[in-house]
Structure 1
């Protein structure tokens, strides 16, 4: 980057490698604590004002704009695009861009959230599912497909989130509207079988919660059943089948729904136990093509939050150098 561009304040976009666990917004807020005190992104006069106030460790929330270009669930890890200053105006571009994911599906159990963070909804047989069967069935989910968003999602129907209908047992006014999405690539990259440590979630629905969900689901499909059908032909201590998928999809695609629907098509039930976003637009975990941009490991920011450390000969701290090396200046 030219030295005159390094004078600041800068605006731009950069990718962060989000770890599994924290929310996306908690990470953005933590990054802001550093960005809002950096001469790279904030006018020197504003920083001088802060220093004059004597409020050490505090930062002005209005010192700089910051946001993210597509939330990742707490369970998920991988690419999280962050925009600073004028870069925030370009974050909407990342909602509709092509994204790549790697996800692990665990068969035999369906959950309300379609992932391991939720509660068990029903159990289903899984031992009959083979690798060859999965690979053949994946063909049905490639290209332009229609998805039904999860019933336990924040999407609203007549002003109320879908999850509220499900929790309270309120019949849906109409079926959930299908969404057209494009699955550009979808492949089975690893067959784990029972050689893994994943297990079904311990959280379960109470009888009342199960009845409420059943009532809501039957309001749009009378054939729906969420009764358990545990696999009777395998010992309970044996881990259910798990496998890993890699996919490249259009914006708006529910990865959890692909796993959920795939398991249904296989005559089983399933949910997501790991989810990694490996690419979002040009930002990627593994740069391979011209124009690809690497992401800043979260540990870089985590370390700086504990101790920003010394500046180098150019007046840069380690986290600032890492961001400068990987940032798209706007």
Structure 2
């Protein structure tokens, strides 16, 4: 059983983020459980890399002195699995916004889908989504987007080392991607649709790995609470 001092000295906590929770909400919940357990006024808790509310999977949290390591974890290679829905686009490149345009998919075959992944392997230039938390002139891009204000977005260099297609049932395509820090899978879905001379948006996303950490070792929020306070789960 970890002590109050253990959490202050620093712990790495792997959480499997549930759907529709923000990364910030998860951090707040875990911090609240630790504070409640040890009757603390405050304890540092942070996460190494945001997951969108519509994504599930691995969040690496650090407590106490280990929050200084967050930058190191953020820079590590990440693995994602998910689904791209072809034949349509959305302004946010995912299900946060409604479909704004549809495209033909009759010309798309399994062979073409698998061949097209090759265009995205290696070092590539990628434009972040307009609906993202990146800042421009002190304001987040999604704030500009929601106000209908056009803003110039610069591309960034990213690296995709693996892009595997795991299921094709058009219009849905399942994938597994291994990529560098700063990669937007939503942008990849949008760009993949364009490369197929159609449209595409991200309809499901799960982060499975960050460096050597994986969801196999991650706890749900409920499991963490039970671990922290076994007297509650086993009266």
TM-score of the pair, normalised by structure 2: 0.89
CA contact (8 A) 1:111 1:121 kept: yes
CA distance 1:71–1:167, shift in 2 (3 Å): closer
What is the count of residue pairs matched by the alignment? 231
Displacement after TM superposition at 1:97 (Å): 0.8
For 1:79, the equivalent position in structure 2 comes to 58
Determine the C-alpha separation between the residues in 2 that align with 1:163 and 1:30. 25
For 2:68, the equivalent position in structure 1 comes to 89
- 2:115 corresponds to which of 117, 126, 136: 136
Displacement after TM superposition at 1:170 (Å): 4.0
For 1:51, the equivalent position in structure 2 comes to none
SS in 1 for 2:183: coil
CA distance 1:34–1:166, shift in 2 (3 Å): closer
Displacement after TM superposition at 1:119 (Å): 2.2
For 2:162, the equivalent position in structure 1 comes to 185
CA contact (8 A) 1:79 1:284 kept: yes
Deviations 1:193-250 (A, max 9, x none): 3xxxxxxxxxxxxxxxxxxxxxxxxxxxxxxxxxxxxxxxxxxxxxxx1010101100
Greater displacement, 100-109 / 21-30: 21-30
CA contact (8 A) 2:30 2:221 kept: no
SS in 2 for 1:177: coil
For 1:23, the equivalent position in structure 2 comes to 22
Displacement after TM superposition at 1:303 (Å): 5.6
Which is greater in Rg?
A: 1
Displacement after TM superposition at 1:13 (Å): 0.8
For 1:218, the equivalent position in structure 2 comes to none
Deviations 1:36-69 (A, max 9, x none): 1335xxxxxxx4xxxxxxxxxxx62x2x111111
The Cα RMSD (Å) is 2.3
Determine the C-alpha separation between the residues in 2 that align with 1:19 and 1:165. 28
For 1:112, the equivalent position in structure 2 comes to 91
Structure 2, unpaired ranges of 5+: none
Displacement after TM superposition at 1:117 (Å): 1.6
Q: Does 1:299 align with 2:229?
A: no
Determine the C-alpha separation between the residues in 2 that align with 1:299 and 1:163. 31
CA contact (8 A) 1:95 1:252 kept: no
Counterparts of 1:197-208 in structure 2, within 5 Å, are: none
For 1:145, the equivalent position in structure 2 comes to 124
Counterparts of 1:238-317 in structure 2, within 5 Å, are: 241-286=171-216, 294-301=217-224, 308-310=229-231
SS in 1 for 2:189: helix
TM-score of the pair, normalised by structure 1: 0.65
Structure 1, unpaired ranges of 5+: 40-46, 48-58, 194-240, 287-293, 312-316, 319-330
CA distance 1:162–1:243, shift in 2 (3 Å): same
For 2:13, the equivalent position in structure 1 comes to 14
